Structure 1
Amino acid sequence: MRTKAELEAAIGSGGRAVLVINSRSRRGRRLYGRARRLLREAGLEFVHVFPVTDPTRLRELFADVLALEPDLVVVGGGDGTVAEAVGHLAHRDIALGVLPLGTTNNFARSLELPLDLPGAVRTLAVGAAGGGKVADVDVGWFQSTGDPQGEGPGADREHIFANMVSLGLSVEVARKVPHTLKRVLGRPAYALTAVRLLPRHDAFTAHVTIDGETTSLQTHQLNVANGAHHSGQRIARDASPDDRLLAVYRLGDEHRMRLASATARHVLTGPWRSLEDDAFLTTDRVEIATDPPLRVDVDGEIRGRTPVSIRLRGNALRVIVPQSFVDR
């Protein structure tokens, strides 16, 4: 493995770069042509470009990407596309660059990337004025019950996640949000779907075990975050994908209306509250069982059910970030 400085120098001097753009993401199809133009104008050349029209092929596509032995893989798309890339690029001598073209762009927000396309492209121009740098950040690893993936050769990578593991109402929202509504409205589509589903959603009991000590709580929503954002909103002012911590927190308790008020507080106070607040449990590993057993959402994809084990893997992923990003 090269040092970060060595990898940064290779990228800045015109190293091998590959571009993957999900043209099915919310903004990918509309901005594909503009993105290619801006990348060319920034001096970024690619040995191969993969426009993705079928997201179900992303997994096999990354085998072709890795065969090109790139120094940099630029991924344009939403959190689902980025999460797929993270699983393939973690623990490799390759940097990930992100063009945030999705609905919530939680991972890009956590990396403090500009969300506008020109700003994101400028950050990717490592070595140029206003360009970014190579940093290494944390990823998560999980193992759930009945997960149909993650078996056979290379199975460990199937368990890596970028941003968050979720249980509860958000899992049902992700499953049932109308695709057309999401494409038209963006993030508000999730809120509208949650309002529709909440009156019929049952609370559950979560048994959260950290360092051998189990805490039991009732809620409609439980999250385990590696990143700093959820639903496009900051979790806490000091949360980071580079802090060697998983943040475990619930929204509300067993009462449905408290979920709504807790979500509102999360949106309003996230930029100011701290991971040291009582609302959070912080750790580098956690075991969660629920009554009843629940589906597990991992970066927007259903991956088995509880019980689920979650671990942190520190500094496992190399990414292009702004110069202002604090690389621990």
Structure 2
Amino acid sequence: MKKKFWRRGAAAVAVLAAFAAATAACARPATNTAAANTAGERVRISVGVDPSYAPFFLADREGLFKAAGLDVQIIQTEGGAAGAQNVVAGTSEMSGNANSTALTVMAGNPKLRALGVYEESDRYFQVVLRDGVTPNSIKTMGVFPGIGLYFTDLYLRSLGLDPASIALVTTSPPEQPALLARGDIDGFISFDPWITQAVGKGSHVVGTTGNFGAKYSQWLVASDSWLSGHQELAGRVFRVLAQAADIVASDPDRAGKAVAAAIQMDPIEARKQVTQIDFKGRDFTADDLDQARRLVDFFRGQGKINGDIDPQKVLLSGWFNQNAK
């Protein structure tokens, strides 16, 4: 039987920022009427409030969008599906979302499109168990919806355990360290600062998602209707974001300061979390498509996706290389 503990509170989930060289070579000039009509148009981008969005925060703080001739407004949300939902509602033109979240929103909103990847990691999410608990003695796991459930399922199967035989306690990430300390759960899979808090309360890390072959990525998302008239503008925005991602990857101190300024976080902790993520703007690969299909199959099996969604259609393979590289 699955227990459920529902709580209020914002889930601090899962990644981005942008850098742009202030030269004419970094941004393509308008070459057609549609491009000319979007000159100076504001682009609102919804993001979450954790270090995985470092490229957005860095580009915004250092004026890199502006240096590239772009009017970009970064809108902070509670994370999760909120960013993509803002795009659906028309209160943002673009959003940064984890692949699992984007796909679940896309299932009910087939006009959403993913333009490319700006970060990924197989070590940002870690497995923590209460002291005295070993992987093979797990009876109860704390799980937050979406990617948390997916990772937990993969982890348990990698141990040879049937997920149906384990009690899954539905929580938000901030609740998990306390539940673990009280003995209400044996472990959970999450990210910092919740991992560090749990270790401080007498638990231990036993691995990362990479240890059982799992990872996640974050995508830049837009609506098909907006994108159809703003291809060049979207490409210029993503080009800056990709350049910022390169800065974050090469200079985590700089990235940590940008994150700290944006979300009132300790810069040392922000730097630590940034180094757990691989920041790089890129096009979709066959592996991204395969992973998207696995996620869709999993969430459909869990009853979380009811609508039709074709990953090959909503992931715009080739778009980044044609428009943002």
What TM-score results when the alignment is normalised by the length of structure 1? 0.32
Greater RCO, CA 8 A, separation 6+: 2
Bigger share in strand = 1
Query: Counting helix residues as a fraction of each chain, which structure ranks higher?
Result: 2
* TM-score, normalised via structure 2 length: 0.32
